[in-house]
Structure 1
Amino acid sequence: MNVATKTFGCFDLNDADTCEAVSKTSVPILIIHGDKDIRAPLSMAYRIYNSCQSKKEIYVVLGAEHTECYRTDPEKYEKTVSEFIEKNLP
């Protein structure tokens, strides 16, 4: 993955700081995270959420592991994303 970001995005993933990035944005942010994720603990999602200075929401998917949020509850996932987009359209 890092090879692709270096080649096409001209940056190194090792230099990326999500908390810093969201602290500087004015774009609305929806954070979706599974509460059973062991690759990226839920505390990371809250750190990002707390760093964000723009409009923000967090949707914690109960029972979802890493990359399994949609599959765990597709109806609520779609509803949450749709409502977030509708609320934040310019």
Structure 2
Amino acid sequence: DAVGRFGQTEWVDLEAAVSYARSEGARRVVLMGFSQGGSLIGYYLRNVGEREVNGVILDSPLLSLSDTLAQQARLRGLPGPVIPPVLFGTRVIAQLRSGFAISDVEHVDDLADTTLPMLVIHGDEDDFVPPEPSAALAQARPDNLTFERIDGAGHVEGWNTDQERYASAIATFLADVFP
């Protein structure tokens, strides 16, 4: 229907890709999602679970659409008191237009309940998707989640900002998942 739902319906495509990889002999699967891909992976795990996946890497993940919309409204100069009614209108229009509920794009709690090894990379200067939900997820999962907050990095700019740290974090994570 040409309406993006941040992974709410698109996760079935990822399920098919994982299934295909497994049918072709893949013994271990690590999902990597950039930005909205983080939300897609959140929906995949909500619906399929962890059984087919061995790890997750998220780069600047959209884990809270409400927080993301509020940040974008602030950055566009909307006064603080105006933001809640504007976002309420956005929620209503999205629901009426496509049956899409913005409030469903909240993944921190669901991902906090997973046991999968996870690497989350997020720049502290991301002006598109706020890093706070990534930090909250890391705080909720101190046991098997590595959080790389990259100073000076904007949205999906971790590699561009600090290639050595970015590559090292991924290599270390993959070495743990694929011993």
TM-score, normalization by structure 2: 0.42
Identity of aligned residues (%): 22
1:65 aligns with one of 124, 130, 154: 154
Runs of 4+ in structure 1 over 6 Å off: none
Give distance in 2, aligned partners of 1:4 and 1:44.
17
Q: Does 2:22 match 1:22?
A: no
8 Å CA contact retained: 1:27, 1:54 = no
Q: Which residue in the other structure is 1:82 paired with?
A: 171
Q: Which residue in the other structure is 1:44 paired with?
A: 133
Gaps of 5+ in 1: none
Q: Does 2:35 match 1:32?
A: no
Which amino acid is 1:2 matched to? R
Gaps of 5+ in 2: 13-42, 44-99
Name the SS of the counterpart of 1:63 in structure 2: coil
Q: CA deviation at 1:50?
A: 1.8
**What is the aligned residue count?**
89
Provide the alpha-carbon RMSD of the alignment: 2.6
Give distance in 2, aligned partners of 1:21 and 1:32.
18
Give distance in 2, aligned partners of 1:84 and 1:42.
20
Q: CA deviation at 1:69?
A: 1.0
Looking at both structures, which has the greater relative contact order when contacts are Cα pairs under 8 Å and sequence separation is at least 6? 1
